[in-house]
Amino acid sequence: MSHKPLSAPSSFATIFALALGICAPAASADLTLDSAVANPARSAKFVARDKARHPLEELTFFGVTPQSTVVEIWPGGGYWTEILAPLLHDHGSYYVALQGKGGSEAADAEADKLNALFSSKVEADKSTYGKATPTVFGLGQGEISPPGSADVVLSFRNLHNWLEQNFAPEAFASFYRALKPGGVLGLEDHRGQRDTPQDPKAEDGYVRQDYAIALAEKAGFKFEGSSEIGANPKDTANWPKGVWTLPPTLRLGDQDRAKYEAIGEADNFLLKFRKPTQ
């Protein structure tokens, strides 16, 4: 599958880039990773999810520092952006690869929704997010940063979408191009059952850990290690509405709600890969 350079980004990214044309100074002093996570300016709804998402531990595992050049894939509502944008504001670089078009009608509608939500977040606080550089990532839209520019590429709970949309190999190739030699790919997703064959479309939202590792290695990455930071042994990866049965989506509504809330968010793997230096 060919890869199109981002010479003509989507209209959303163009508007987003124009909105960021004048960068305001940082609103706060230099942050450490600890203080970026503890930043009182973060949204209460996101802070409430920290117990499930473990931001300090995950970003530490992936080696993110205030001096890093980081690409975040599909920032969604901005959970990680609220940490990464202030952290990287003064001494690092931060690319946000927004969700591109070209998937199914439902996927494109979801992209519009999430991109609009992210745009409104930026517009509301340019002093915090004014140095973020928008790019576009989707089918045929893979230039997420200048080639060989990134220290770290981060993807949180997205791989199952690329499997469903049939462009996972293209995604990993894009990450490989963006990273410097020795750069890190940090990958998190919902862990599938170890004794059940992987659904190539990941329609239940779960991905076997060994399957994810194999995809990255096929793209040229070297597997460096995994972490159980996001593990949840209560998650059997076998639910009526897939992973979306569990919080935060709770797709069944009030049906067995207390049961699923007690289980909590999905069992997630954390995988660290490195682009070879030679």
Peptide bond into 200 cis (omega under 30): no
Q: Which residues of 181-206 are buried (b: 16+ CB within 10 A; e: fewer)?
A: eebbbbbbbbbbeeeeebbeebebbb
Sheet of 179-190, strands arranged across: 133-137, 93-99, 69-73, 150-156, 179-190, 268-274, 222-227
For the whole model, what pTM was predicted?
A: 0.88
Q: Decide: helix, strand or coil at residue 181.
A: strand
Cα–Cα distance, 86 to 26 (Å, whole number): 8
Q: Name which of 62, 65, 119, 71 is nearest 87 in CA terms.
A: 65
Cα–Cα distance, 226 to 163 (Å, whole number): 21
Contact present, 160 and 189 (Cβ < 8 Å): yes
Cα–Cα distance, 166 to 43 (Å, whole number): 34
For strands 268-274 and 222-227, give the pairing. antiparallel
CA 50 to chain CA centroid, nearest Å: 15
Give residue 7's pLDDT.
34
Give residue 145's pLDDT.
97
Tokens of residue 78, six digits: 């901005």
Contacts of 177 (CB under 8 A, 6+ apart): 3, 142, 143, 147, 148
Cα–Cα distance, 163 to 155 (Å, whole number): 14
Identify the segments of the chain with pLDDT beneath 50.
Answer: 1-28
Cα–Cα distance, 260 to 246 (Å, whole number): 5
Q: What is the CA angle 77-28-130, rounded to 5? A: 50
Cα–Cα distance, 37 to 83 (Å, whole number): 6
Tokens of residue 179, six digits: 């990273």
Tokens of residue 81, six digits: 């952006």
Burial label, 21 (beta-carbon count in 10 A; 0-12, 13-18, 19+) = exposed
Q: What is the CA angle 198-137-96, rounded to 5? A: 115
User: What's phi and psi for 223, nearest 5 deg?
Assistant: -70, 125
Give residue 103's pLDDT.
66
Residue-wise pLDDT for 64-120, tens only, equals 999 999 999 999 889 999 999 999 999 999 999 998 876 677 778 888 888 888 888
